[in-house]
Amino acid sequence: MSEPSLTSSASFQALETHAIEAEDWQMGSLFAADPQRFERMSLEAAGLFLDYSKNRVDGRTLELLVGLARERGVEQRRDAMFAGEKINNTENRAVLHTALRAPRDAKLVVDGQDVIADVHAVLDRIKAFTNAVRGGEWLGHTGKPITDVVNIGIGGSDLGPKMACLALRPFAHPRLAMHFVSNVDGHDIDAALEKLAPETTLFIVASKTFTTAETMMNAQTARRWFVERAPESALPRHFVAVSTNTEAVKAFGIDPANMFPFWDWVGGRYSVWSAIGLPVALCVGFGYFSDFLAGAHAMDEHFRSAPLEENMPVLLGLIGFWNRQFLGCPSVTIAPYHQDLARFPAYLQQLEMESNGKRVTRDGEPVDTPTCPAIWGEPGTNGQHAYFQMLHQGTDVTPIDFIAALSPSHELHHHHTALLANCFAQSEAFMKGKTPDEVRRDLQGLPLAEIERLVPHKTFPGNRPSNTILMEYLNPASLGALIALYEHKTFVQGVLWGVNSFDQWGVELGKVLAKKIEAELAGEPQPALHDSSTNGLIARARAAI
């Protein structure tokens, strides 16, 4: 039997009525009416602080949203996920990234398998390997320590490790330079290899399936580059794999003794906690990698046990749902006011959009509301000088998540004061805006006609929603908690929309068509079976190649 649709639920209908009343709300008036609004609409968990008071919601909105979460079964589905039930129903898989960061003494048996024991057995291997490479005991084939690590992977096998290595830059090993190659575009691997010496380079071929076309092509190119410059017998010291597919790893020529496994119940975009995090453990060391896992686990414990009304991922998910559904916001901007989080928006693009960019429910019925908004962003203050104009005065309302650390990991304190001032000023400006009368006051002294000509241009509508997430420092534990916060937010929204957040069939069609066109570009007779545009593009490329 199909689950009831979202719009047929009593709580959704109550929210629809409430949204009509809320249409004209001004956040400024909501703040004026409730001096306790900030205290009421902020909370701390797992070392993170969330201020969600600058949203167009009141106590009743939150009550109704929490009611919707209950009616849609967020608590039951959350518990089913943590328990290892096969909630990924189109692939018939459990979803257990939370088990990857559970402590050694946790208990979880799924299909007769002790999941926690398996996880910690691999973590022990990661510890031994990363200690050996970092400590200079794992040597290249000429007896020199490794200086460069190249992770070859794409999607979840790239975005998480790349984002985390950058975010944890102050914790990085001084001898190890981390490189990431993902794109099938040869310019990517070409640029990486150009700087490297084979005798001191370690390649990690990271692919859950070990069939992904881009990764396999890049791995073959790296292998060829290596054996042209070093004896083939040296490969085992320079190539390791991270995968769930032992057979394919063997077929590629990597010794399974140098393969770090994970499991089908780890989704690609949820895999940075698994052996896919090997570059992170190499970069910052196993001790900090453990702190990273512990930070995520602390957020898991909060998500699992806090009442929905005081549950950070639940509130973040519900507010995002409100903005998408009732304010009609087509996208969300992630604004990390921390340069080391530069890749965090890109990471969230896969996490949220590959998870919830769906148009049918778990039962295959069309969804009856909009689902995942587009996610995008750049670090502040750079974004301010690029697209914040549109956020302030454009025709779409785009909610913003501001993310900042209260203390920097450098000594340039005046920079940090300026950074935080900008972060807080932006959220204030988005909320308050600027009225025509305020503009007129600013322009006093100019001729009246000139003032009136400028007023519409210099007026800000304000009333634009944002969240602010603060941490003391950006460190392994707070980064772990931050990622887990967004993972669970994504989960909550998926449950509200009734979609399966853990499959990604939408990436298949393009892959299949690319294979066919690749053969045609490589010289196979071109059957004119494509549309005229695709035929024309292929013909132009064939003429040029």
Catalytic residue among 144, 385, 413, 516: 385
CA angle 244, 241, 133 (to 5 degrees): 135
Site string for ligand F6P, 489-528 (x = CB under 6 A): ---------------x--x---------------------
Neighbours of 381 (CB within 10 A): 18
- Binding residues with ligand F6P: total (CB under 6 A): 14
Q: How far is the CB of 269 from ligand F6P (least distance, A)?
A: 6
Q: In what order do the strands lie in the sheet with 400-405?
A: 42-45, 48-51, 466-471, 400-405, 331-337, 374-376
Side chain identity at residue 76, one-letter code: Q
Residue of the chain from 48, 96, 122, 154 that contacts ligand F6P (CB under 6 A): 154
111: left (phi over 0), alpha (psi -120 to 50) or beta: left
CA 367 – CA 361 distance, rounded (Å): 6
Active site residue 385: yes
SS (H, E, C) 342-385: CCHHHHHHHHHHHHHCCCECCCCCECCCCCCCEEECCCCCHHHH
Regarding 1 and contact with ligand F6P (CB under 6 A), the answer is no
Q: Among residues 208 and 488, whose Cβ is nearest to ligand F6P?
A: 208
Query: Within 332-391, which residues bind ligand F6P (CB under 6 A)?
Result: 354
Counted residue by residue, the chain has a size of 545
Per DSSP bridges, beta strands 177-181 and 148-152 are: parallel
Applying CB under 6 A, the span of 68-76, 184-192, 209-217, 476-484 interacting with ligand F6P comes to 209-217
Transcribe 444-497 into DSSP letters. Answer: BTB-HHHHHHHHHHH-B-----EEEEEESS--HHHHHHHHHHHHHHHHHHHHHH
Applying CB under 6 A, the span of 122-130, 150-158, 187-195, 330-338 interacting with ligand F6P comes to 150-158
The residue assigned the tokens 């990486």 is 192
- Cis omega (within 30 of 0) on the bond before 381? yes
Active site residue 354: yes
Residue of the chain from 84, 156, 279, 317 that contacts ligand F6P (CB under 6 A): 156
Radius of gyration of the chain from its Cα atoms, rounded to whole angstroms: 25
Applying CB under 6 A, the span of 124-132, 153-161, 194-202, 448-456 interacting with ligand F6P comes to 153-161
Regarding 151 and contact with ligand F6P (CB under 6 A), the answer is no
Query: Within 296-335, which residues bind ligand F6P (CB under 6 A)?
Result: none
Residue of the chain from 208, 238, 302, 464 that contacts ligand F6P (CB under 6 A): 208
CA dihedral 474, 478, 480, 484 (to 10 degrees): -120
Side chain identity at residue 29, one-letter code: S
Applying CB under 6 A, the span of 47-55, 202-210, 247-255, 333-341 interacting with ligand F6P comes to 202-210
Q: How far is the CB of 241 from ligand F6P (least distance, A)?
A: 11
Q: How far is the CB of 267 from ligand F6P (least distance, A)?
A: 7
Q: How far is the CB of 122 from ligand F6P (least distance, A)?
A: 16
Is 145 in contact with 136 (CB distance < 8 Å)? Answer: yes
Applying CB under 6 A, the span of 149-157, 307-315, 429-437, 473-481 interacting with ligand F6P comes to 149-157
Q: Among residues 98 and 182, whose Cβ is nearest to ligand F6P?
A: 182
Site string for ligand F6P, 240-269 (x = CB under 6 A): ----------------------------xx
Residue of the chain from 55, 88, 151, 212 that contacts ligand F6P (CB under 6 A): 212
Neighbours of 79 (CB within 10 A): 12
Applying CB under 6 A, the span of 169-177, 208-216, 378-386, 401-409 interacting with ligand F6P comes to 208-216
Residue of the chain from 53, 61, 151, 157 that contacts ligand F6P (CB under 6 A): 157
Q: How far is the CB of 268 from ligand F6P (least distance, A)?
A: 2
Catalytic residue among 415, 511, 515, 516: 511
Q: How far is CA 314 from CA 37, 130, 181, 309, 333, in A?
A: 19, 36, 35, 8, 19
How many helices, marked H, and strands, marked E, lie in the chain?
23, 13
What residues are annotated to the active site? 354, 385, 511
Summarize as ranges the residues that interact with ligand F6P (CB under 6 A).
154-157, 207-209, 212, 215, 268-269, 354, 504, 507
